[in-house]
Structure 1
């Protein structure tokens, strides 16, 4: 752990603001860091404005960082500015019974990928590089966890699920009662499959109604994980306040660490750092153990809002004897790589190996990706050869990752060589990677051929694969082809969801039709009652900012707030850039940010200075 802390030392810098916590503490001499604020967070001199409700936190001029029974700002999320999501796996009802046969499940492999975007909603990362921990493991045993992981990859048929889907919300309880009265079995296995399918489709309101019916009718004996599942669903459907209120109703014997951990994850998904602090403090007050999962949540949060503080989390893990997991290393490696600290990234890899954890394919691909981004071509090529192994045909699992990585190096021949291994009997994920890779190297015809050949094996494809080709067209400004493909999607019964809309917005923007992209986004959000992706709005906001179009930039910024995308520094930076490019003062912008509980980082501070109407220049001082 000490080696990890040393490896992460460059993530932090000296600061006047040090987080301290109440009395019974272990004092460690360690420099603190400036905080780059996003969300409900604080930085610099304004740290004193942290909500007073978090009574366990104070700010001092001492150079020591104090850890104790209270901790500031612990949470986590799906990544990047695109939120996202920690889900599934909360309930006993959502852990497959031991009687389930994993071999029977395997027969259904591949069905999920053939469903439409409307049937299984998928939220795309705004930063595709972001590491996400979806491994909320509430299983009692390792074998249960493995069974759960296997089953989560499948789309299981379920008569109970069909009843839930076919029933209007106002009539679901009656339909379920009738189904049970007809002699149908309602055991944990049936409930598990139904909940799994509902969660996969993000039908949280129906899942909540179903769980509430189970609780009210006592059809299933609830355990702690079942109550935790309800906390998660209440939070997703009704918000954090209602989730907190529900916890008060849970029997004390079932109000354990899993319940509060679930609430913590919900706070993270809502990007409510203040509330996450309170929940974590509550966990510690109740003397629950600090788990690797909780620490990973904190690392995820700091990766998003303040990477310099990651070293402090590692210090806490060392003091609490919390062992890093594989995901901990993945996140640290990705953080170092994203910061272009290649030597630090390599040091963390060596530390992981010294701890007896060998890099898996995901980590190897991550390292190679960061080598490429940092311009270390030779190191990247060596990493890719290591991924391949001695015989790529025998190591086919690496093909999916190798295709886009070789494409990023501009090696079209290598993309062709790897694709030849897969081409005779391709898998869905390999096809997706091939479309992306051929697009990167400019081989549009090859990407189109992969797409068309997929219909020979799979008669129906989900929107996901259309979207991949749409992005290729967008990147190469092939507007007419993109329009034709979008029409084909509609004709083939694919619902135009947020991912497709995002691809269409990018298609129009890259083709120079920003206003048309704006119109498409607005119509889709109104007519289809869908919530567009954050990245769709940012694409428009960035382009209006580039033009110095303050009016339209403000309009998109307002839409972001209306739809619920708040507390993100990214949109403030882009809006400020519109003022900078327009050479127009942004009156009251600093106060506007403060009212939103947003505090400028270094980059934003520079923008604010550039658009300050009262800024003194050398010539203005002379003339005054």
Structure 2
């Protein structure tokens, strides 16, 4: 089986140092440190950071601006007036550090200063960053006006994607779909990112059936899916209880030469984070960045991991992840319950499915999705699990759920 072969490869490539909580990988004939949860000395890091800030550099001056009302632009101009040289590379580096600290206003002011001083030529990434920062500081309308006011030469794949990201983040479906059509109709070359943005939006608003359509569009344009594409695609199929499609996707991943390395690294990191209990709910915006070699857009989510390990027939991992999810402070959703139920059905564990239903009954969730619940009820009945089907039916009645539109 492809999934078992994949799991065997994973075990061969990972060496976990349980004493230090570190992950090592064998890559290109060398051992390299990939992730560590306990090796850094926090006091030494803090001391080094403080030492840097005490030095008189443009970076240290700007980072000392703790209050948003203070101007980074004034600091830069004063630095220049003192006879110092400012480079675009330095300003971009400072801006990146500010964004990581969520100091978006000061980061935007640095961008404004670069625009004002004509000797700096803005790159496509600079324009895209400005769109993201304007969304965070002034709102989506300001970002939209800025994008539409850009010259044609600056309306690139990066700026289109940045605006689409803003729409998706604000769950503005109509505007996002309109821009998505403009993207598809343009002569620009796009990566997988716009498709992932739309898939993320569809998942966030409950229109999971549209995720597969985005995947079809992606493939028709000869764009290679990445690990996050598979994350969303599998999660959407799990949410609609399309278990056969989940298994087909897992098989596709195992045969995709461009996905294998990312897949293995992704699972490596997942093992560490699950063991350490550091993962967060997939519904939360505060998700774990996977680390070196894995981009921010390839975040780990609980639902994805649950269905992946179900596909690998690893019930212990499914149990462990579900337990970790229930222990988080994040609000559980019906999608979380549907995902774990579909996984236990895939594994053929009826008792565990019944226990999950009991947990669902004890929760305070009221946002039941009528389509997903109908599929779940059908799945129980089709599997001959009449007792569980009846229990689920009673649960929906107790929650005053409208059963008239559920499929029979």
TM-score for both structures, normalised by structure 1: 0.37
Alignment correspondent of 1:380: 314
Identify the structure with bigger relative contact order (alpha carbons < 8 Å, sequence gap 6+): 1
Alignment correspondent of 2:248: 347
Task: Specify which of 187, 190, 193 is matched with residue 293 of structure 1.
Answer: 193
Deviations 1:462-481 (A, max 9, x none): xxxxxxxxx9xx95xxxxxx
Distance in 1, matches of 2:178 and 2:57, equals 42
Q: Does 1:180 align with 2:92?
A: no
Distance in 1, matches of 2:314 and 2:403, equals 46
Contact 2:71 2:109 (C-alpha < 8 Å) held by counterparts: no
- Equivalences for residues 216-615 of structure 1 within 5 A: 216-218=116-118, 220-304=120-204, 305-336=206-237, 343-357=244-258, 358=260, 359-363=263-267, 379-380=313-314, 405=317, 408=320, 535=330, 538=331, 601-602=370-371
Deviations 1:350-402 (A, max 9, x none): 21233324231324777998787799699317xx9xxxxxxxxxxxxxxxxxx
| Deviation of the 1:179 alpha carbon | 0.9
Q: Does 1:193 align with 2:105?
A: no
| Deviation of the 1:602 alpha carbon | 4.2
Deviations 1:478-530 (A, max 9, x none): xxxxxxxxxxxxxxxxxxxxxxxxx8xx5xxxxxxxxxxxxxxxxxxxxxxxx
Contact 2:310 2:318 (C-alpha < 8 Å) held by counterparts: no
Distance in 2, matches of 1:378 and 1:264, equals 34
The SS at the match of 1:379 is: coil
- Equivalences for residues 77-92 of structure 1 within 5 A: none
| Deviation of the 1:243 alpha carbon | 0.8
**Taking structure 1 as reference, are residues 112 and 271 closer, same or farther at Cα in structure 2, changes over 3 Å only?**
farther
| Deviation of the 1:263 alpha carbon | 0.4
**Taking structure 1 as reference, are residues 300 and 611 closer, same or farther at Cα in structure 2, changes over 3 Å only?**
closer
Deviations 1:507-554 (A, max 9, x none): xxxxxxxxxxxxxxxxxxxxxxxxxxxx4xx58x99xxxxxxxxxxxx
| Deviation of the 1:254 alpha carbon | 1.8
Distance in 2, matches of 1:286 and 1:355, equals 28
- 5+ residue gaps, structure 2: 1-38, 275-301, 335-362, 375-392
The SS at the match of 1:360 is: helix
**Taking structure 1 as reference, are residues 378 and 295 closer, same or farther at Cα in structure 2, changes over 3 Å only?**
closer
| Deviation of the 1:247 alpha carbon | 2.0
**Taking structure 1 as reference, are residues 336 and 363 closer, same or farther at Cα in structure 2, changes over 3 Å only?**
farther
Distance in 1, matches of 2:157 and 2:76, equals 32
Q: Which has the larger radius of gyration?
A: 1
Count of residue pairs the alignment pairs up: 277
**Taking structure 1 as reference, are residues 406 and 299 closer, same or farther at Cα in structure 2, changes over 3 Å only?**
closer
Contact 1:342 1:371 (C-alpha < 8 Å) held by counterparts: no
Distance in 2, matches of 1:320 and 1:293, equals 13
**Taking structure 1 as reference, are residues 343 and 365 closer, same or farther at Cα in structure 2, changes over 3 Å only?**
farther
- 5+ residue gaps, structure 1: 1-108, 120-154, 385-404, 411-438, 441-470, 476-502, 507-534, 543-572, 578-598, 617-624
| Deviation of the 1:272 alpha carbon | 1.3
Contact 2:306 2:318 (C-alpha < 8 Å) held by counterparts: no
The SS at the match of 2:187 is: coil
The SS at the match of 1:347 is: helix
Distance in 2, matches of 1:190 and 1:604, equals 53
Distance in 2, matches of 1:162 and 1:259, equals 30
